[in-house]
Structure 1
Amino acid sequence: MRAYVQQGQKGDPNYLNLERIAYTFWERGYEMLRFDYPELCEGALDRGLLTYPEETIVAGGVGTVREAIKRANRSLPDLQELPDCLEPWIGRKHWTSTLDEVRQPFEKEVPTQPVHVKPLHEHKRFTGTVFKEFRDLIPSATVDGATEVLVQEVVEFVSEWRAYLFRGRIKTVANYQGDPLAFPDPTRMQAALDAFESCPIACSMDWGITSTGETLLVEVNDCYALGNYGINMYIYTAMIEARWREIMELEDNGIGVLL
């Protein structure tokens, strides 16, 4: 098995995670090869992606993995961040719109409620942010107004946690922001997982704890776009491999079943 792991740049927030992924695949006995994004775009991985897909895994940043999926002639996964089936656990209003539509009341300085806005599909277009007033529009000023966005009612969380889901089970729950002692309600997390229709083989649910102690779903993240906030690296790389194979429409090789 050959694992292609993107070469990060020192200073990049994802650098250490990529190094740990590369090391763990090597430690697991895989042939481990590093590459950078331009090499991918120039076709350096095409032979593995197109001729030897059964023996090829690609790990890297979100945009990099999406490009690899396209070069492998596979459909990009379209996992909803707030799936309809998980509505009972979301606990706030949310809707889709365009950036132009969301900007309008703030540009006209019409009194309006703050909203959290993030790209619906192309996550690298701009970082999700809260629009409260005109100046909040500046970071996304150069983004095409026709860009589809996910808009949410603003909820203040005192603590946020990532639940790593693998093969229908919660494998690890890790605090990534806020009070580490304000833990999400396990029964709500399990109930949401049980209700999660078409759950990928590997992904995450992020959970937020409100000031009143309520546990709400922040978002769902696909495994190919998943940072490591504390899960065991063997489980984490098994999740990457299993989800990659699922996206590539390959037979499940059972990786991680015994972990």
Structure 2
Amino acid sequence: MRAYVQQFLKGDPNYLNLERIAYTFWERGYEVLRFDYPEFCKGNLDRGLLSYPDETIVAGGVGMVREAIKRANRSLPELLELPNCLKPWIGREYWTSTLEEVRQPFEKEEYTQPVHVKPLYEHKRFTGTVFREFRDLIPSAAVDGATEVLVQEVVEFVSEWRAYIFRGNIRRVANYLGDPLAFPNPVQMQAALEAFENRPVACSMDWGITSAGETLLVEVNDGYSLGNYGIDMHIYTAMIEARWREIMGLEDNGIGMGI
């Protein structure tokens, strides 16, 4: 098996996680090949992606992996974010729009409720942020107004947790922001997991705890590219591999069943 793992420079937020991914695939006996974006654009991964898909895995940032999926002539998986089947656990209004449409009332300084805004598809365009007043538009001022965005009613969370889902089970729950003693309701998490239709083999469900103690779904993330907040690296790389094979339309090789 061959694992192509994206290479970042030291100092990049993704650097350490990708180094650990590369090391773990090597430890598992895989041939590990590092690459950067210019090498990818030159077609350096094409031979593995097109000629040996059953022996090839790609690990990297969300945008990079999605580009690799397209390069392999496979359909891009739908971005999960907030699936409608999980609406009972979301606990707030949300909708899609364009950045220009969301900006307008703030640019005119009209009274409007604060909203959380993040790119729907092009995640690197700008970081998700709350628009409360005109000055909040500045970080995204250079972004094309036609950019599609996910807009949400603002909810203040005192704590946020990531539940790693693999083969239908919660494998780890990790605090990544806020109060580590404010834990999400396990009954709510399990109920949402069971209600999650067309769930991928590997993904995460992020949960937030409000000041009133409610457990609400923050978002869902696909397993082909997830931040690691403390899950065992062998489980983590098995999640990446299993989800990659699922997207490629390959037979499930059972990776991760014994760990």
TM range (shorter): over 0.9
Q: For 1:180-211, what per-residue CA distance to the aligned partner results, in whole angstroms no more than 9, with x for missing partners? A: 01000000000000000000000000000000
The aligned residue for residue 147 of structure 2 is 147
Q: 2:224 aligns to what SS in structure 1? A: helix
Matches within 5 A, 1:185-204: 185-204=185-204
The aligned residue for residue 168 of structure 2 is 168
Say which is worse superposed, 59-68 or 190-199, in terms of deviation.
59-68
CA–CA distance in structure 2, aligned partners of residues 88 and 44 of structure 1: 45
Matches within 5 A, 1:202-217: 202-217=202-217
Deviation at 1:79, TM superposition (A): 2.8
Could you tell me which amino acid in structure 2 is paired with residue 77 of structure 1? P
Q: 2:76 aligns to what SS in structure 1? A: coil
Matched, 1:230 2:230: yes
Matched, 1:60 2:60: yes
The aligned residue for residue 69 of structure 2 is 69
CA–CA distance in structure 1, aligned partners of residues 141 and 224 of structure 2: 28
CA–CA distance in structure 1, aligned partners of residues 170 and 81 of structure 2: 18
Could you tell me which amino acid in structure 2 is paired with residue 191 of structure 1? A
Could you tell me which amino acid in structure 1 is paired with residue 172 of structure 2? T
Q: 1:228 aligns to what SS in structure 2? A: coil
CA–CA distance in structure 2, aligned partners of residues 71 and 130 of structure 1: 34
The aligned residue for residue 83 of structure 2 is 83
The aligned residue for residue 183 of structure 1 is 183
The aligned residue for residue 243 of structure 1 is 243
Q: For 1:116-143, what per-residue CA distance to the aligned partner results, in whole angstroms no more than 9, with x for missing partners? A: 0001111111110000001111111111
CA RMSD of superposed structures (Å): 0.7
- 8 Å CA contact retained: 2:117, 2:130: yes
Say which is worse superposed, 73-82 or 231-240, in terms of deviation.
73-82
The aligned residue for residue 256 of structure 1 is 256
CA–CA distance in structure 2, aligned partners of residues 107 and 79 of structure 1: 29
Q: 1:123 aligns to what SS in structure 2? A: coil
Could you tell me which amino acid in structure 2 is paired with residue 165 of structure 1? I
Could you tell me which amino acid in structure 2 is paired with residue 247 of structure 1? I
CA–CA distance in structure 2, aligned partners of residues 122 and 102 of structure 1: 17
What's the TM-score, normalizing by structure 2?
0.99
Q: 1:225 aligns to what SS in structure 2? A: coil
Matched, 1:128 2:124: no
CA–CA distance in structure 2, aligned partners of residues 62 and 183 of structure 1: 28
The aligned residue for residue 21 of structure 1 is 21
- 8 Å CA contact retained: 2:59, 2:225: no
Which structure 1 segments of 5+ residues have no match? Answer: none
CA–CA distance in structure 1, aligned partners of residues 125 and 42 of structure 2: 23
CA–CA distance in structure 2, aligned partners of residues 250 and 56 of structure 1: 11
Deviation at 1:225, TM superposition (A): 2.6
Deviation at 1:232, TM superposition (A): 0.3
Deviation at 1:24, TM superposition (A): 0.3
Matched, 1:115 2:115: yes
The aligned residue for residue 221 of structure 1 is 221
Matched, 1:43 2:46: no
- 8 Å CA contact retained: 2:79, 2:121: no
Matched, 1:106 2:106: yes
- 8 Å CA contact retained: 2:3, 2:56: yes
The aligned residue for residue 7 of structure 2 is 7
Structure 1: 4+ residue segments shifted above 2 A:
none
CA–CA distance in structure 2, aligned partners of residues 4 and 110 of structure 1: 50
> Structure 1 vs Structure 2: percent identity of aligned residues?
84
The aligned residue for residue 158 of structure 1 is 158
Deviation at 1:148, TM superposition (A): 1.0
What's the TM-score, normalizing by structure 1?
0.99
CA–CA distance in structure 1, aligned partners of residues 189 and 248 of structure 2: 29
